[in-house]
Structures are given as C-alpha cells and as structure tokens.
Structure 1
C-alpha cells in the first residue's frame, strides 16, 4: 500500500508539471522557439547527468552505447521527441495551447492506431468506437474551421511514435533520456554557433531556461517511478489530467479563445476517451479475474 501511494504521488507530480507547461513556455513569448528548445535540451542533459552521477549509474550509459541497434533506435526517438518539444514550445508561445492540449487528448487513440498499423493488433469494439469518434472530431474541426488542426495532429503523432519507438527499446528511462539529450546536443551547439543573439544570462530569464530543462526531466523520471508502482488502469485514468490542466491553463489563465467548434471537437474526443478508458479498465479487470485461482468446495 505504501508503494502504491508513492506511485500515485509520483504520477500526480508528473502530470501536474506537464499540465502547467502552457504557463511555463508562455513566459518565453517573443523569443525564438528554437532557442528555447536548444536550452531545454541542454539543461535537461545537464540535470540528468547530475542525477546519473549522484546515483552512480554511468555504467548503464557505457553499456547502452555499445549496442548499435539501440543507439539507432534512440536516434529516431530523439528526432521525434525534439520535434514534439519544439512544436509544443512554439504553440505555447504563440497562443495555441488549446490546440496543443487537443493533441495530447488525441494521443492515446493515435497510439492504438499505430499498434494496429505496425503491430497488426486487433481492435475491440470499444476501441473502434473511440477511434471513429476521434476521426469524426477531426473531420468536424476541418470542415467547421476550414483548416487542418495540424498542431494537434502533429503533437499527437510525434508523441505516439516516440512512445512506440521507446517501447521497442530495452533501456531504462534515465539512461534513454541521457542518451537522447546527448544525441540532440549537436543541434543546440550548431544553433548557438550560428545565432548572433543569445538571450541567456545570469538573470530571471536565464533561470527560466534552466528551469525548463529541469522540468522536462523531472516528470519523465517521476512517471517512470510511478509506472513501476501503480496499475496500468490507474495510469490510464490519470493520463488525462495532463491535457485537461493544459486546456484549463490556456483558457482560464492565458485567456486563449475556446470556440463553439472547439467545444464540439473536444466533446467528441472526450466521449471517445471515456469509452476507451472504460473499456480498457473493464477488459483489464476481466483479465485479472481470469488469472485468479478458482476456489472449489471440498
């Protein structure tokens, strides 16, 4: 019970931090999004390196670096997560956080689609209904606004693909994040070399750059710790806390518009997610009951 409570605290910590990202990155408004991304990558790498040093786990990094197939997969995941981070930063800085939050609502359903397309997984009835509602929501958004919700779809696709690639790699979260941020460091160095203006300094803005890196690593580490302690159904339920908080921050704190079209689009996604989550929970519970040893009277 103690471990489960700790897992719940770790999960809430991760989702609460992720949920307040619109507020964090809106503070960089007016700066180039690529510069913020460069600092986010660099300071994440520094923070994770400190964690690895304190825990004495550099031997895991050395072992991982000898696996060429693993490094190739992490190069792919690095590209995906860097694209995801960069787009999210741009969206938050340009008052598009509502669209970004929609992407993370869609993300679980995109992950299911990837499983069907790449792993040939079969869909249950509730998954088909949830995916159909998501498709209807996107089509409605396009026909009503006359524009493709490319931010939402790009964030959902990049994060779902990132999760798909990382699921295929046999590496722990800390080691994977250290290698990914290290692989992305050349981008930051090239950016700084060819950018005439650097807004980093020993002031509040410089502190925010460092904070962005730290707050990138902490929720990932907290989520990994939570996943080892609480059930899959609990994680599935809590995952919607992140985009919900992002949406609330965008609308009620940052003052972004939430139109009638947005309401219908989000409502369709929410209904789909309710069906998806409920079906997953029911199926998980049913599977657990099957695994319990039957008790017969003697």
Structure 2
C-alpha cells in the first residue's frame, strides 16, 4: 500500500460513528416530537381565549363554521400533500366511512359543549371534564375492550367518582358539562381506535368534518334565511368573519402537530403532557375570566387533581418497571 494512501477506517470505529449518528438523529426526533406535542397541548390550552373572541356568534353557529372551515382547510392540505388517493380509498370503504361518520358526530358534540361552556362562563367545568377524561378512557377500555384496571387506576377512578358526588351534593345536579366532555371524547377515542393506523390524522379529520358539514350548511340556510346569523345586522364585522374562518386552521394545526409528535416520542410523554391543557383552562377560568368557583368546586377539583396524581404516579411506576432495550 502506498504511504500516501488513506488508512482504512477500523470497522469498530465506523460502527461507533454510525451508532453515534443514529443516536443524534433519534435525539433530534425526540426533541422535535416533544416540541410538537407540547405545542399541540399549549394551543388547546389557549382555545378559551380564542372562542371568547367569537361570543357574538352563538355556540351552534361557531361549531357550524368550525366544521365548514375545518373541511376547507383539510381539503387544501390534502391538495398540497397530493393525497387524494388516500382520501378516496377511505371514502369508498363503507366500514371506515361509517366509523368516521360516528366519530365526526361525537367530536362535534364535544366541540359544541366545550364552546358553550367557555362562552357561558363555565370554562372551569370544561377543565374538570378534561382532567377526568383519561380516567373515563380507562373505564371505557375496561368495559368495552376487556382491559383490566390496575389497583391504582381503580383508586384514581374511585376518587374521581367521589369528586363528582361532592359536586352533585353541593349543586343538586350532575356536572353535565364536565361529564359530557369526558364521555364524548372518551367514546370518540374508543371509536377511533377501530380504524387504528388505517386512517391518518388529516384524512380522518377531513372525512369527519365532511360528514358533518352538510348538517352545518342546512343549519346556516335556516339561520340566515331568518336573518338571525351573526354575520348579519349589528353583530356583523370583518373581525368576526375572519375569526370564524380561522376556526379551520385553528382546529387542524394542533391536531396535525399531535399526530406528528406522537410518532416521535414515547406514549408516556403524550400521556403526561395531556394535563397541560386542563391546567391552562382552569387557570384562565380563575385568573383571566374571573369565573365564580364555589368552595364545593374547589374541593371537587382538588379531589380530581388527587386522582390525577394517583393515576400519573401509577403510570410512572409502570414505566420504571419496564425492562430497557438491551437488558435482560
């Protein structure tokens, strides 16, 4: 070999270099994934501020616009991604179309209750619903999917039931907003589980909003024929029009961030991050909107937070007990 020829790189050094590059790439994926997941939950946490700006329109009209403009946004994104074939395949598969029609109805109900809560000064009720949602999901999985509740999960669910009982005793009625949000989103997740990886986030949202948009358009025809639309008369303004049209991207962006982020980070990070949203909602209700929060509501909320602590501690314990890759 000529003295001036480069020395071949030792196989071990090359392997170490490749492993280092893989770790760097994985770390970058993790960092971007965490940023996407956190961004998604932060945006959802700010939703009450956005919907407060649209108060001139009623809750039903806001949801109608949200469905229509979400569909428009999704179709534009589908065109940019050139994924018409994927959309067509889902729409022409009766089973998938039926499941997404049901999930579209469920998420529309969830949106409607949420917007009503925010615009009737009951954002704290909405926050409570999203705090108990993971516990409701666990119960639904046990009932419908045969998954076993771990003892700590059972304790967390029990504490949440006590929290609801405290509210019922103090108020004399069920906290229907909280329960409706938790149940509608929990069942929505259960229904979506049936399509699994067969439908990506963008296609799913496109079909869901597309199934519900005809209902919204019929409602608009009736509303505006009677001269009762928010974009008619004294309430009409360019700012309100722009705000309602923005409901499309406002809905689609965090969902797509969530879908992209969850592919890059462990499910445990997603599970723990989900509490960012209701914490932000509760703080907005208390500190910004100055909603009246009774003593019973504080007690109930504290009990729900205790249930969440038990739930999260159990999750972290289960993760700590899992064997790491490369260990026996």
Query: Above 0.5 in TM-score?
Result: yes
- Alignment equivalent of 1:22, drawn from 33, 45, 48: 48
- Give the corresponding residue for 1:209: 244
| In structure 2, distance between residues paired with 1:147 and 1:70 | 38
- Give the corresponding residue for 2:75: 49
1:194 aligns with 2:222: yes
Q: Cα distance, 1:25 vs. partner? A: 1.1
- Give the corresponding residue for 1:293: 327
- Alignment equivalent of 2:288, drawn from 240, 253, 263: 253
For the 8 Å contact 1:126–1:275, the answer to whether it is kept is yes
3-state DSSP class of the match of 2:270?
Answer: helix
3-state DSSP class of the match of 2:322?
Answer: helix
Q: Cα distance, 1:84 vs. partner? A: 0.5
- Give the corresponding residue for 1:273: 308
Q: Cα distance, 1:257 vs. partner? A: 1.5
- Give the corresponding residue for 1:263: 298
For the 8 Å contact 2:131–2:304, the answer to whether it is kept is yes
- Alignment equivalent of 2:261, drawn from 203, 207, 226: 226
Q: Cα distance, 1:135 vs. partner? A: 0.5
- Give the corresponding residue for 1:87: 113
Between Structure 1 and Structure 2, how many residues are aligned?
A: 293
For the 8 Å contact 2:272–2:312, the answer to whether it is kept is yes
Structure of greater Rg: 2
Uncovered stretches (5+) of structure 2, i.e. residues with no partner: 1-26
Segment of structure 1 superposing worse, 179-188 or 193-202? 193-202
Instruction: Please list, as runs of the form range in 1=range in 2, the aligned pairs for 1:161-200 lying within 5 A after superposition.
Output: 161-169=187-195, 170-195=198-223, 196=226, 197-200=228-231
Q: Cα distance, 1:144 vs. partner? A: 1.5
Instruction: Please list, as runs of the form range in 1=range in 2, the aligned pairs for 1:35-74 lying within 5 A after superposition.
Output: 35-74=61-100
| In structure 2, distance between residues paired with 1:145 and 1:281 | 35
For the 8 Å contact 1:27–1:93, the answer to whether it is kept is no
For the 8 Å contact 1:106–1:134, the answer to whether it is kept is yes
For the 8 Å contact 2:56–2:230, the answer to whether it is kept is no
| In structure 1, distance between residues paired with 2:218 and 2:194 | 30
Q: Cα distance, 1:202 vs. partner? A: 6.8
Segment of structure 1 superposing worse, 201-210 or 241-250? 201-210
Q: Cα distance, 1:212 vs. partner? A: 2.1
Q: Aligned pair in 2 of structure 1 residues 223, 27: CA closer, same or farther (>3 Å)?
A: same
- Give the corresponding residue for 1:241: 276
3-state DSSP class of the match of 1:20?
Answer: helix
For the 8 Å contact 2:133–2:186, the answer to whether it is kept is yes
For the 8 Å contact 1:22–1:92, the answer to whether it is kept is yes
| In structure 1, distance between residues paired with 2:123 and 2:67 | 21
- Give the corresponding residue for 2:158: 132
Deviations 1:171-206 (A, max 9, x none): 111110000010011111101111123334671001
| In structure 1, distance between residues paired with 2:211 and 2:114 | 20
**Structure 1 segments of 4 or more deviating over 6 A?**
none
| In structure 2, distance between residues paired with 1:27 and 1:263 | 27
